[in-house]
């Protein structure tokens, strides 16, 4: 079964479709989260992870002696994301400044895998933290992040000044950062 | 830190910052290096918050579908080199070619600390096909073309939860202890012993639920089990849920005489957006299961999508204006050729059929 393959079990058999499907469904979300570290936006991350799976699919025969699918996929996502950044040259100088500060977890051995972010945990923790904020701030944050509304649109919608919107978003971010710090450090 | 820096930083996050402003921010950060860490973590938080909201099981399902279709295409194009993996490819092909097949696709999910195995049963229908499924709890499901139904081996034990992509009509067996829940896109539809239709194709922007009999509750997945978050439907009512608020278009299909309510559970929070129609005739929304398409004032663009699913054809338009022409009437046992011919006569449209490809060309010119 794919589970044993995922967490280390040397077998010579090629990956079957059932195994592949299991791997895909389990790892797709967390690989996307990992990819956003490099490329920032979700849609690009999703495409990159998709490509990695496609490659893995065509080359999985090569992988039959590699016992660990997960580190392999993490590494592949990282390489692809870095290549993407190089190729696209889409990073601004500020992006580069921030990136240079980041320690990237390499997932080169099994232990690091445990530190991968589960999106279910992230969603639950984020939702809990948002719920602790004052109501208007919650609403503004949700509009800004989940509905991708610009400051001006939020201000118009709620009939408040854009300055207030900015202040509220900034306060949300400071608050959420304190609550979710374990997702943000060294990752 | 002053307001200006905050404001510039936020516009950076929104990818809305000018080059000079960005340089200004970089200079400021060099003078105030203590803020680099804070800003960096906020930047990460920003992208995680965005991403987290977009990932869910349905997305993963959708991505897997795309992926398996891609693999399938690759195979038929013979690009894929021969290798060991070829041995199971015919099995996958069968899923697509043999119409409905119940694939014993097995996914092991690890829940909490105990390694309990959950096995999923999955039913797929390709374009041009339909199927009727008897569920273990005695409920019956009609699955429309290009749709997928998925449920675990836990179905019927503690819960009756079922995942739908595409369109299905449910006739739910009564069981007060075990709620029947349909998960479609990001909606949860709870049934209390009833029959209803759900249409939730990934490529469409809405999830449409039509109730024929009984009572159902519709709620956005993830919202609290609060009465105020749930919309209760009575028979002959229909609710259209818009998946992304950005694309809330005025629905064209709703009849004007129907009472319409836009339910916004919280005014300040635009999501979720629903459109409820009361006192409707449900038959146009459920007739597909008898093989009949009841078309009621639908645009040719929408009709084309339905025909593509029903007949497994590809329809294209040479002239965009044709998409807006509206049609009404039943389509029953017609062949695809007859159906297209009928449309062509009704609206005076020139068309071409080439195997499974149909091209609507333009309005017929009077000679």
Whose tokens are 């980041």? That residue is A102
Sign (positive or negative) of CA dihedral B152, B157, B158, B159: positive
Q: Taking CB atoms and an 8 Å cut-off, how many pairs form between chains A and B?
A: 161
pLDDT digits (tens, 9 = 90+) for B303-344: 888 888 888 888 988 888 888 888 777 777 778 888 888 888
What does the pLDDT look like over B216-272, one tens digit per residue? 888 887 676 666 678 888 888 888 887 764 333 334 444 333 444 444 433 334 445
Q: In this structure, are strands B131-134 and B237-242 parallel, antiparallel, or unpaired?
A: unpaired
Domain count, chain B: 3
What is the domain extent for residue B22? 3-54
Same domain, B111 and B174: yes
Domain containing B110 — which CATH number?
2.60.120.1440
Specify the long-range contacts of residues B247-250, CB closer than 8 Å, at least 24 apart.
Answer: B247/B205, B248/B273, B249/B205
CA–CA min distance A18, chain B (Å) = 6
What is the structure's pLDDT at A60?
66
Boundaries of every domain in chain A: 2-116, 120-184
Q: Residues near A107 by Cβ (< 8 Å), separated by ≥ 6?
A: A70, A71, A74, A75, A78, A113, A116
Q: Following DSSP, what letter does each residue of B214-231 receive, concatenated?
A: S-EEEEETTS-S-GGG-E
The pLDDT profile of chain B, 367 residues, written as one tens digit per residue, is 788 888 889 888 888 888 888 889 988 988 888 888 888 888 888 888 877 777 777 778 888 888 877 766 655 543 333 344 444 444 444 444 333 333 333 333 333 333 346 677 888 888 877 888 888 888 889 888 889 998 888 888 878 889 999 999 999 888 877 889 999 888 889 887 788 999 998 888 888 899 988 888 888 876 766 666 788 888 888 888 877 643 333 344 443 334 444 444 333 344 457 778 877 888 888 888 877 777 777 888 888 888 888 888 889 888 888 888 887 777 777 788 888 888 888 778 888 888 888 998 887 765 4
Task: List the structure tokens of A67.
Answer: 């016992």
Q: Do the domain assignments include residue B351?
A: yes
> What tens digit of pLDDT does each residue of A8-63 get?
444 555 666 777 788 888 888 889 888 888 887 888 898 899 889 888 877 766 55
Q: Cβ of A29 and B46 within 8 Å?
A: no
B301 vs B85: CA distance, rounded Å: 40
Residue B206 bridge partners (DSSP): B242
Residue B272: cis peptide before it, omega within 30 degrees of 0: yes
* Residue among A103, A139, A173 with most chain B CBs within 10 A, to mutate: A173
State which residue of chain B sits closest to A102, comparing Cα positions. Answer: B40
The gap from C-alpha B68 to its chain's centroid, in whole angstroms, comes to 18
Q: In this complex, is the C-beta atom of B85 within 8 Å of any C-beta atom belonging to chain A?
A: yes
pLDDT at A138 over 80: yes
| Beta strand segments in B44-192, E | 101-103, 120-125, 131-134, 140-143, 147-152, 160-171, 180-184, 187-191
Q: To probe the interface with A, which of B5, B35, B45 has the most A CB atoms within 10 Å?
A: B45
Check A42 against B54: CB less than 8 A apart. Answer: yes
CB contact under 8 A, B10 and A54: no
Select A2-116's CATH number: 2.60.40, 1.10.1740, 1.10.20, 3.30.420: 1.10.1740
CATH code reported for the domain at A120-184: 1.10.10.10
**Contact criterion met (CB < 8 Å) for B60 and A29:** yes
Domain identity same for B218 and B321 = no
Task: Find which of A16, A97, A104 to mutate to test the B interface (most B CBs within 10 Å of its CB).
Answer: A97
């Amino acid at each position: 079964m794919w589970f044993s393959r995922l967490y280390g079990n040397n077998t010579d058999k090629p990956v079957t479709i059932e195994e592949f499907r299991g791997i895909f469904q389990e790892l797709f979300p967390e690989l996307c989260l990992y990819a956003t570290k490099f490329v920032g936006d979700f849609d690009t991350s999703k495409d990159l992870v998709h490509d990695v799976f496609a490659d893995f699919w065509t080359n999985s025969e090569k992988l039959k002696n590699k016992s660990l699918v997960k580190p392999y996929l993490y590494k592949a996502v990282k390489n692809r994301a870095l290549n993407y950044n190089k190729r696209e040259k889409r990073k601004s100088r500020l992006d580069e400044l921030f990136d240079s500060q980041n320690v990237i977890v390499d997932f080169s051995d099994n232990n690091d895998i445990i530190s991968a972010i589960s999106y279910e945990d992230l969603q639950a923790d984020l939702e809990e933290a948002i719920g602790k904020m004052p109501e208007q701030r919650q609403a503004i944050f949700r509009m800004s992040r989940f509905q991708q509304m610009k400051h001006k649109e939020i201000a118009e919608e709620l009939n408040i000044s854009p300055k207030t919107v900015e202040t509220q978003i900034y306060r949300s971010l400071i608050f959420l950062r304190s609550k979710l710090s374990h997702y943000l450090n060294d990752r | 830190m002053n307001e200006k820096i905050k404001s510039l930083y936020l516009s950076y996050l929104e990818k809305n910052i000018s080059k000079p402003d960005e340089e200004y921010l970089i200079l400021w950060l060099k003078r105030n290096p203590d803020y680099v860490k804070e800003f960096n973590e906020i930047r990460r938080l920003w992208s995680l918050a965005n991403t987290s909201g977009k990932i869910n099981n349905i997305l993963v399902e959708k991505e897997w579908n795309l992926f398996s279709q891609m693999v399938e295409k690759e195979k038929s194009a013979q690009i894929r080199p021969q290798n060991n993996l070829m041995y199971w490819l015919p099995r996958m092909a069968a899923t697509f070619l043999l119409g409905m097949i119940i694939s014993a696709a097995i996914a092991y999910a690890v829940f909490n600390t105990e390694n309990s195995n959950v096995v999923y049963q999955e039913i797929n229908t390709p374009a041009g096909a339909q199927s009727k499924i008897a569920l273990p709890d005695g409920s019956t499901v009609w699955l429309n073309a290009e749709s997928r139904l998925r449920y675990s081996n836990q179905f019927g034990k503690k819960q009756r939860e079922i995942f739908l992509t595409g369109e299905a009509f449910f006739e739910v067996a009564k069981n007060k202890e075990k709620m029947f829940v349909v998960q479609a896109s990001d909606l949860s539809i709870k049934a209390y012993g009833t029959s209803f239709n759900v249409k939730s194709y990934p490529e469409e922007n809405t999830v449409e639920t039509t109730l024929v009999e009984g009572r159902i509750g519709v709620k956005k997945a993830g919202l609290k089990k609060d009465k105020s978050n749930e919309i209760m439907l009575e028979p002959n009512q229909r609710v259209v849920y818009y998946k992304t608020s950005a694309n809330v278009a005025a629905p064209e299909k709703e009849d004007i005489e129907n009472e319409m309510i836009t339910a916004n559970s919280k005014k300040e929070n635009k999501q979720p957006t629903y459109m409820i129609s009361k006192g409707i005739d449900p038959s146009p929304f459920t007739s597909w299961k008898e093989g009949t398409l009841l078309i009621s004032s639908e645009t040719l663009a929408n009709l084309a999508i339905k025909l593509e699913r029903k007949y497994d054809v590809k329809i294209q338009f040479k002239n965009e204006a044709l998409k807006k022409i509206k049609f009404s009437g039943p389509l029953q046992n017609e062949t695809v050729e007859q159906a297209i011919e009928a449309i062509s006569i009704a609206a005076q449209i020139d068309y071409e059929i080439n195997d499974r490809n149909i091209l609507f060309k333009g309005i017929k010119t009077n000679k």
